[in-house]
Amino acid sequence: MLKACLNGGRRRDEHPAVPLTAAELAADAVRCANAGATAVHVHPRDDGGAESLDPAVVAAAVAAVRAACPALPVGVSTGAWIVPDPAERVAAVRAWPVLPDFASVNAHEPGAAAVAAALHERGVMVEAGLWTEAAVDAWRRWSTPAGRVLIECMAEAAEAALADAAAILAALPDRRPPVLLHGEGPATWPVFAEAVRRGLPVRIGLEDTLLLPDGATAPDNATLVAAALALGAR
CATH, domain 2-232, list 3.40.50.10790, 3.40.50.720, 3.75.10.10, 3.20.20.70: 3.20.20.70
Confidence class for position 232, pLDDT limits 50, 70, 90 = confident
The residues spanned by each domain of the chain are 2-232
CA 230 to chain centre: 21
Asked if residue 7 lies in contact with residue 51, where contact means CB atoms within 8 angstroms, the answer is no
pLDDT digits over 45-56, tens only? 999 999 999 999
Q: Which helix (H) or strand (E) holds 153?
A: strand 148-153
Task: For residue 71, give every residue at least 6 positions away whose Cβ sits within 8 Å of its Cβ, in sequence order, or none.
Answer: none
pLDDT digits over 30-43, tens only? 999 999 999 999 99
Query: What pTM does this model have?
Result: 0.96
